[in-house]
A and B are shown apart, each in its own frame.
Chain A
Amino acid sequence: MSIERIRTTVGHIVLMLGVVVSIFPFYWMLVMASNTTPDIFSYPPKLVIGSHLFENMGKVLDNIDFFGAMLLTLIASLGVTVLILFFDSLAAFAFAKYEFPGRNFLFGLLLATFMIPTQLSLVPQFVTLAEFGWIGSLKALIIPGAANAFGIFWMRQYAAGAIPDELISAAKVDGAGFFRQYLTVGLPVLRPGLAFLGIFTFINVWNDYLWPLIVMTDPNRLTLQVALDQLNGIYGTDYSMVMAGALMSVIPLIGVFLIGGRHFISDLAAGAMKF
């Protein structure tokens, strides 16, 4: 009994150490963002939260169009999320619940697209979008990612188990067409799955760096990540200001995660088990 007890205590100590490592960089970010740069550069370094946070945040707003970048990122993230939720769940509903000629072939094709790394098509995608005249516009951030294989695959697995066939048959008897069946039977049942896919997509688009770096060429229309990197590139010596910017860019997302986090984590793990 006591050995068991010691073991769980040791387990918790190990886990708490891990939590400290996990959380420390956030604390350090706050420390740097709330002190002045000379304070950070002193030896021994200041390890406690200072009183210059708002001053540093103000400097960020003076130097880059922070809220403009945040708004742009928000629009892109929400745009992609809404489109993906609609297109992916609609396709997943059809794949999971209906027999139609070529269904298995099409689904196999969809799975095969997983194999293609995004970096392979970086150059030609850029060229294609340039041909469309979309470089520098929000369309370049939203449209190419408006439906994806991962989401359809994930939602299909979810829909297959979650939506009872009887409900669909009942809707059919009532004379509902396919789209009506999707709206009245599919969507309500799929809601928890949509919550996961929504958060997952939103976080990914919000945090994306390489693609916006390439396609958002107008320096006045940058996403948050690129703007933050630029802030660092230009004012890199002002550590505390850069960290204030980093902190401001991280807070909204952590908020989203803390609200939906618990279910999100279990759903993500469950999805990984299905592969």
Chain B
Amino acid sequence: MTVTKALPATVRSTDTTAKPPGKYRQAFPQYAAVAPFFILFAIFGAFPVLFSIWISFHDWDGIGSMTWVGLQQYSYLLGDPKFWQAIGNTLIIWVLSTVPMLLLALVIANALHNATRFRSFYRIAYFIPNVTSVVAVTLVFGSIFSNNFGLLNAFLQSVGLGKVEWLTQPWGIKIAIATIVTWRWVGYNAIIYLAGLQAISADVYEAAKVDGASSRQVFWRITVPMLRPVILFTAVTSTIGGLQIFTESRVLFGDTNNIGGPGNAGMTIVSYLYQSAFINNQFGYGAAIGWALFILIVLFSIINWRLIGGRDNERIARRAARRAERNIAAQKAAQQEDAEQTTKEAADVH
């Protein structure tokens, strides 16, 4: 009796001195607070990802029994011309949209940065395309690009150029999709670049101005290098988004045998995944395409990182800024020397 009575007392006393049990129990409210995310992620994120590996090793229509096929889905995938076409289409659309999108965004952000008046009006006007639904936007652009009655063709005809069958020709289809993507995301990226520009200290610009740098020099030698981290962010996000393009292609061309329009010219990776899994009920194949997409996204993110980011963004930006300053100073010195020389020569002539 005395023993049992004494035991809880000792336990309690160790409880207060030794930390581990109390530490976790004390943190119970915090664990409860972060738990919902992890529970939901476990059910709707982690489990499906693991499950998708399992599914991709099977032949399965989603209803009947699963047949183990090992790596056959993947080996079929590698030899599937439609899959490679989907990758090719996606990459072409991605380049056609991302390159003009980021360049235009940079130009707009630069103009916004210099404009002091109407700035909030501009920001809202440029951002509105991004909050508008892709479906509605695609319907409007579909009518603009329409082969026979489209506004674009009407315009081309009125200036004496011929019609282009935008929504039938392989390149026309890709340009149409890329235009929609560009239109929706230029403003978004410009706003992010603008925030990056505003974070660059005014001293750097002041120093360049004092050194007599032209505005083009300032843009390419100071602004762009200092924006590197922000450019990396936009490049990574547009890559991830670009590789997952689906809605534009699907709304333009609907449910036809030709996914993504005539000749499958607008069929993206996700269109093919959607078609395989949810129209043809080949769940195993759909899961395998999902993994191929994942590998592609990781690969391109690494490439982006290598090209734009490097190991230490800030160090690179600082170094670029120093280099820019040195170059500008050197050029200025050279110019001065030239000027001195010409005046000397002029003096000699006289």
Q: Which residues of A line the B interface, CB within 8 A?
A: 7-8, 11-12, 14-15, 18-19, 21-23, 25-26, 28-29, 32, 40-41, 43-45, 87-88, 90-91, 93-95, 98, 100-101, 103, 106, 109-110, 113, 115-128, 130, 143-144, 146-149, 152, 177-179, 182, 203, 206-207, 209-210, 214, 224-225, 228-229, 232-233, 236, 239, 242-243, 246-247, 249-250, 253-254, 257-258, 261-262, 265-266, 268-270, 272-273, 275
Contact = CB atoms under 8 A, between A and B. Distances in A.
Given A8-B114, A12-B118, A207-B134, A45 B154 contact: yes
B164 to A, nearest CB: 16
Nearest to A110: B37
B94 interface: no
Interface of B: 23-24, 26-27, 29-31, 33-34, 36-38, 40-41, 43-45, 47-49, 51-52, 55, 62, 104, 107-108, 111-112, 114-115, 117-118, 120, 122-129, 131-137, 139-141, 143-144, 148-149, 151, 154, 157-158, 183, 186-188, 191-192, 194-196, 199, 215, 230, 233-234, 240, 244, 246-247, 250-251, 254-255, 270, 273-274, 277-278, 283, 286-287, 290-291, 293-294, 297-298
26 contacts: A18-B108, A18-B126, A19-B126, A22-B183, A25-B144, A29-B136, A32-B140, A40-B143, A44-B158, A90-B36, A94-B30, A100-B27, A100-B31, A101-B23, A101-B24, A115-B298, A117-B240, A126-B277, A209-B250, A243-B139, A243-B140, A265-B191, A268-B192, A269-B191, A272-B192, A273-B192
B277 A123 contact: yes
Given A117-B244, A210-B274, A265 B124 contact: yes
B125 A7 contact: no
A257 B154 contact: no
Contacts of B195: 266, 269-270, 272-273
A243 B151 CA distance: 14
Contact of A124 (B287, B293, B297): B287
Contacts of B291: 120
Contact of B33 (A110, A178, A243, A247): A178
A25 B137 contact: yes
Given A14-B111, A177-B29, 17 more contacts: A15-B111, A19-B122, A25-B140, A28-B144, A40-B149, A45-B149, A45-B151, A91-B33, A100-B30, A123-B277, A123-B290, A152-B37, A232-B251, A233-B254, A236-B254, A265-B191, A273-B199
Given A233-B255, A262-B120, A265-B124, A117 B108 contact: no
Nearest to A231: B139
B127 A127 contact: no
A41 B149 contact: yes
Nearest to A149: B37
Which of B36, B123, B148 gathers most chain A CB within 10 Å?
Answer: B36
A94 B230 CA distance: 29
Contacts of A179: 29
Q: Across chains A and B, which 3 residue pairs bring their CB atoms closest together, nearest first? A: A178-B29, A269-B195, A100-B27
Nearest to B33: A94
Contacts of B270: 119, 210
Contacts of B294: 116-117, 120
A240 B141 CA distance: 14
A254 B37 contact: no
A22 to B, nearest CB: 5
Contacts, number: 273
Contacts of B48: 121, 124-125, 127-128
Contacts of A257: 127-128, 131
B52 A246 contact: no
Nearest to B276: A123
Contacts of A225: 133-135
Contacts of A18: 104, 108, 126, 186
A122 B125 contact: no
A43 B118 contact: no
B114 A253 contact: no
B230 A273 contact: yes
A146 B140 contact: no
B143 A124 contact: no
A165 to B, nearest CB: 15
B255 A228 contact: no
Nearest to A29: B140
A32 B142 CA distance: 12
A229 B142 CA distance: 12
Contact of B38 (A15, A106, A123, A126): A106
Nearest to A210: B246
B55 to A, nearest CB: 6
B33 A120 contact: no
Nearest to A258: B124
Contacts of B149: 40-41, 43, 45
A143 B40 CA distance: 8
B127 A272 contact: no
Contacts of A21: 183
B230 A272 contact: yes
A91 to B, nearest CB: 4
Nearest to B188: A268
Given A18-B126, A28-B144, A265-B127, A121 B136 contact: no
Contacts of B36: 87, 90-91, 146-147
A269 B192 contact: yes
A12 B291 CA distance: 46
